[in-house]
């Protein structure tokens, strides 16, 4: 097979991956996590069921790929985006912006989070969570050098537990939870002033 054949395969693979992820996203939003199958995703993406399994390994692998994609976008905003989420703003403002953005990410992807809960492989999720923990701890060290930033970062990150957020979404108290988390973070960083 010539070079052009290899390039075509790579672009086809990338196109198929994007089509699968987009179809999964649309079906999750339309029908919910418990009501879609790999067959439905394959049909919506215009690929065979085997292509999904070859590319992602399993339904859990597919859901994890979507979660990682969302997390990567937020991670890039934290590293290189404009303030206050990205560098250049005071640590307290960055912490508030991060928790607001993370909360919005979870709420906007509630069905994906439900589907991801069933995933068996969490290696990439663990890596992403470690990044969030380091990010929060680093900002806490700057904003509140008087606290145990390592422990406090874990405690604050636990407020974004998907099960807690999902419960408040289902009970229609999303805004209350968002306001409470924001107030908590604001109170933590205000104590350092």
Which domains, ranges and CATH numbers included, belong to the chain?
Answer: 1-57 (1.10.10.60), 59-193 (1.10.357.10)
CA trace torsion 68, 70, 76, 82 (10° rounding): -160
Strand, coil or helix: 161: coil
What are the respective helix, strand and coil percentages of the chain, to the nearest 5?
80, 0, 20
Structure tokens at 158: 């636990």
pTM over 0.85: no
The Cα-based distances of 99 to 49, 57, 90, 156 in angstroms read 37, 32, 15, 9
Q: Convert the pLDDT of each residue in 20-60 to its tens digit.
A: 999 999 998 888 878 899 999 999 999 999 999 999 998 88
pLDDT exceeds cutoff 70 at 122: no
Query: What's the mean pLDDT in 6-29?
Result: 85
CA distance 101 to 111: 17
The confidence score (pLDDT) of residue 15 equals 93
pLDDT exceeds cutoff 90 at 19: yes
CA angle 150, 77, 122 (to 5 degrees): 60
Q: Per-residue confidence at 10, pLDDT binned at 50, 70, 90?
A: confident
Structure tokens at 15: 């196109």
Query: What's the mean pLDDT in 64-84?
Result: 92
The confidence score (pLDDT) of residue 5 equals 47
pLDDT exceeds cutoff 50 at 112: yes
Query: What's the mean pLDDT in 166-183?
Result: 94
pLDDT exceeds cutoff 80 at 6: no
The confidence score (pLDDT) of residue 120 equals 47
């Amino acid at each position: 097979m010539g070079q052009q054949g290899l390039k075509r395969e790579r672009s086809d693979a990338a196109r198929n991956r994007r089509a699968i992820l987009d179809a999964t996203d649309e079906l999750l939003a339309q029908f919910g996590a418990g009501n879609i199958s790999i067959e439905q995703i394959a049909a919506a993406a215009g690929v065979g069921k085997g292509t999904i399994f070859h590319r992602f390994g399993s339904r859990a692998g597919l859901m994890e790929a979507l979660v990682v994609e969302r997390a990567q976008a937020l991670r890039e905003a934290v590293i290189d985006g404009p303030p206050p989420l990205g560098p250049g703003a005071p640590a307290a403002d960055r912490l508030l912006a991060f928790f607001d953005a993370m909360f919005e990410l979870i709420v906007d992807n509630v069905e994906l989070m439900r589907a991801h809960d069933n995933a068996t492989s969490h290696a990439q999720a663990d890596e992403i969570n470690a990044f969030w923990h380091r990010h929060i701890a680093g900002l806490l060290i700057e904003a509140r050098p008087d606290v145990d930033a390592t422990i406090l970062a874990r405690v604050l990150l636990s407020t974004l537990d998907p099960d807690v957020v999902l419960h408040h979404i289902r009970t229609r108290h999303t805004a209350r939870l968002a306001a409470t988390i924001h107030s908590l973070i604001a109170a933590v960083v205000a104590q350092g002033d």
